[in-house]
């Protein structure tokens, strides 16, 4: 049976907020377009450039920073390394000069207010998140390429065939949850061990582990930065950041100087239920407030849901017995992320990671299922209990709509990450105290149900800001 080979690092991508499908994806698409121009030796022949945004990218693109992303991508800047504190200055320079330097090499006239078109009444058939790049050459010819941002930072070009990596032959091909359990039963290996063997197709185990720990480094730096940054989020909603104040309240004046001493201070407060609950919320708020501020985050599996997995993993490290012992902490982090990534992968294959296709169940729901699975394996759960935890988490996110107020990834998105994290922990606890053989609902059944629900869901609840809270909360904001 054919299978789509998806790496852990396809699910976990380092990038810039606020949206994986509306920011990171268009950024990558713009990079690919200008790189194509260079590969065809026509980059220096370009005299004009335009960008057309369709569907959800047009309707909520302003709030999600799509216009910012495509400009940075056309400049050749990389979302993994570009200094996020320089974004505003660069975008302002382009607008003031009405010029853009394609791939950092060739300057052409470009007025963002005229050359980025938000076609809010038009959609393309393949996916709601579509964008077309147009370039005019000196000889009068035009070049056009259309891309689809399909969720989680994944981008496909119109007419594109599978890449060599997609066609890779993995030792343990997986499309479904049943496939995972099949290989676990056959080999006796844990889910994370199965995933690691597949990752060895692309790189050494040492390289995979190093990159996994780098993913966690970015996550924990995002948490730590978020809990120390006060202020108002950008975009016009005047949403006040809450993680910094909550951190200060919970720390209660105890001294610390860096992440490690901060973590020790958190542990010193014990593990009372309310105390733990407040910290999990604080961790999740911190990440998604950073995300809303064009900060550096890890797509997990999307930017809008980027706070769930870091919050649950930070919860495990801070509050679960033995999790913080140096002898096994790094291995546990890797185990958590490998397991979580595979769950995200089968949701992508069987349903979607795109809120524009499936509503917020495709973002918060999937991230909660991923986190529940990772936590359960780290807590010693069986392979079936891991699958059960993921199923429980998604089952109770089914039908969750995406209705961002003002087209911004702020309300209700930031708080939803706290809910997703708490549900993940609850799902894990339920699975660990249950016998999966008696479960009535399988993970594959809930994935199919999620996809059926997505197809039935009205488009106005799919990241368009045309329904739900987006129209029922009276706010004076410019149209996005």
Q: Alpha carbon of 320 to those of 74, 263, 270, 274, 370: distances in Å?
A: 45, 13, 11, 15, 18
- Given 105, 125, 157, the domain boundary residue is 157
The predicted structure's pLDDT at residue 324: 57
**What CA dihedral angle connects 73, 74, 75 and 78, to 10 degrees?**
20
Is 438 found in the same domain as 355? yes
Residue 373, in any domain of the structure: yes
Per-residue pLDDT of the chain (480 residues; tens, 9 = 90+): 456 899 999 999 999 999 999 999 999 999 999 999 999 999 999 999 999 999 999 999 988 999 999 999 999 999 999 999 999 999 999 999 999 999 999 999 999 999 999 999 999 988 999 999 999 999 999 999 999 999 999 999 998 764 444 467 999 999 999 999 999 999 999 999 999 999 999 999 999 999 999 999 999 999 999 999 999 999 999 999 999 999 999 999 999 999 999 999 999 999 999 999 999 999 999 999 999 999 999 999 999 999 999 999 999 999 997 765 655 899 999 999 999 999 999 999 999 999 999 999 999 999 999 999 999 999 999 999 999 999 999 999 999 999 999 999 999 999 999 999 999 999 999 999 999 999 999 999 999 999 999 999 999 999 999 999 999 997 755 433
Element (H, E) at 116: strand 116-119
Backbone dihedral region of 235: left (phi > 0), alpha (psi from -120 to 50 degrees) or beta? left
Q: Is residue 166 part of a domain?
A: no
DSSP string computed for 380-435: T--HHHHHHHHHHHHHTTTT--B--GGG-S-TTHHHHHHHHHHHHHHHHHHHHTS-
Position 326 scores a pLDDT of 59
Kindly state whether residues 182 and 151 are assigned to the same domain: no
301-325 per-residue burial string, b: 16 or more CB within 10 A, e: under 16: bbbbbbbbbbbbbbbbbbbeeebbe
Specify whether 288 is located in the same domain as 335: yes
CATH number at residue 96: 3.30.1330.90
Residues 361 and 261 in one domain: yes
Regarding whether 464 and 344 lie in a shared domain, the answer is: yes
DSSP 125-152: SS-SEEEEEEEEETTS-EEEEEEEEEET
Q: What angle do CA 194, 200, 206 make, to 5 degrees?
A: 105
In a domain, 163, yes or no: no
Tokens linked to 389: 């935890």
- By CB neighbour count within 10 A (0-12 exposed, 13-18 middle, 19+ buried), where does 255 fall? exposed
Query: 73 and 130: one domain?
Result: yes
Which H/E stretch holds residue 119? strand 116-119
Residue 171 located in a structural domain: no
In a domain, 10, yes or no: no
The model carries a pTM of 0.93
For 297, the enclosing helix (H) or strand (E) is: strand 296-299
Domain termination site, one of 157, 192, 218: 157
CA distance 252 to 271: 16
Residue 9 lies in a domain: no
**Which own/partner pairs from 317-321 qualify as long-range (CB within 8 Å, at least 24 positions apart)?**
317/263, 318/263, 318/266, 318/267, 318/279, 319/267, 319/271, 319/276, 319/279, 320/378, 320/379
246 and 119 co-located in one domain: no
| 125: containing domain | 20-157
CB 466 within 8 A of CB 460: yes
**CA separation (Å) from 25 to 15, 91, 162, 268, 295?**
10, 18, 18, 41, 16
Using the 3D structure, point to which of 124, 157, 190 is the last residue of a domain.
157
Q: Are residues 344 and 196 in the same domain?
A: yes
What single DSSP character describes residue 239? P
- Residue 151 sits in the same domain as residue 267: no
Residues counted in the chain: 480
Residue at 168 is within a domain: no
Name the domain count of the chain: 2
Same structural domain, 147 and 188: no
| Same domain membership, residue 122 and residue 210 | no
3-state secondary structure of 234: coil
- Residue 98 belongs to some domain of the structure: yes
364/314 Cα distance (integer angstroms): 17
360 and 296 share a domain? yes
């Amino acid at each position: 049976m054919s299978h789509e080979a998806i790496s852990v690092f396809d699910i976990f991508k380092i990038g810039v907020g606020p949206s994986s499908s509306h920011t990171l994806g268009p950024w990558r698409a713009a990079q690919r377009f200008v790189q194509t121009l260079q590969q065809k030796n026509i980059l220096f022949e370009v005299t004009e450039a335009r960008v057309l945004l369709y569907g959800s990218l047009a309707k909520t693109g302003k709030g999600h920073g799509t216009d910012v992303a495509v400009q940075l991508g056309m400049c050749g800047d990389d979302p993994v390394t570009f200094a996020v504190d320089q974004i505003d200055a660069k975008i302002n320079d382009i607008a003031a000069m009405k010029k853009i330097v394609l791939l950092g090499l060739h300057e052409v006239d470009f007025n963002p207010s005229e050359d980025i078109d938000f076609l809010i009444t038009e959609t393309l058939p393949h996916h709601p998140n579509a964008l077309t790049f147009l370039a005019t050459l000196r000889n009068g010819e035009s070049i056009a390429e259309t891309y689809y941002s399909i969720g989680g930072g994944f981008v496909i070009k119109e007419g594109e065939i599978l890449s060599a990596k997609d066609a890779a032959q993995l030792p343990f091909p997986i499309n479904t949850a049943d496939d995972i359990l099949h290989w676990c039963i056959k080999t006796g290996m844990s889910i994370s061990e199965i995933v690691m063997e597949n990752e060895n197709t692309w790189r050494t185990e040492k390289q995979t582990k190093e990159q996994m720990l780098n993913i966690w480094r970015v996550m924990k730096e995002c948490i730590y930065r978020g809990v120390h940054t006060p202020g108002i989020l950008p975009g016009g909603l005047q949403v006040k950041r809450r993680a910094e104040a909550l951190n200060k309240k919970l720390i209660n004046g105890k001294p610390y100087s860096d992440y490690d001493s901060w973590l020790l201070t958190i542990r010193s407060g014990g593990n009372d239920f309310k105390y733990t609950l407040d910290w999990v919320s604080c961790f999740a708020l911190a990440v998604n407030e950073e995300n809303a501020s064009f900060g550096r985050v890890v797509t997990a599996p999307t930017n809008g849901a980027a706070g769930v997995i870091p919050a649950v993993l930070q919860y495990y490290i801070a509050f679960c017995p033995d999790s913080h012992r140096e002898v096994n902490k790094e291995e546990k982090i890797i185990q958590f992320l490998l397991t979580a990534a595979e769950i995200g992968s089968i949701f992508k294959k069987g349903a979607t990671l795109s809120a524009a296709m499936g509503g917020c169940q495709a973002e918060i729901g999937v991230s909660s299922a991923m986190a529940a699975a990772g936590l359960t394996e780290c807590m010693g759960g069986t392979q079936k209990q891991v699958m059960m935890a993921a199923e429980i988490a998604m089952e109770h996110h089914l039908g969750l709509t995406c209705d961002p107020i003002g087209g911004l990834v702020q309300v209700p998105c930031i708080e939803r990450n706290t809910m997703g994290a708490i549900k993940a922990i609850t799902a894990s606890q339920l699975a660990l105290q249950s016998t999966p053989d008696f479960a009535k609902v399988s993970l594959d059944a809930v994935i199919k149900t999620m996809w059926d629900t997505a197809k039935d869901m009205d488009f106005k609840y799919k990241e368009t800001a045309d329904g739900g809270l987006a129209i029922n909360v009276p706010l004076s904001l410019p149209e996005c």
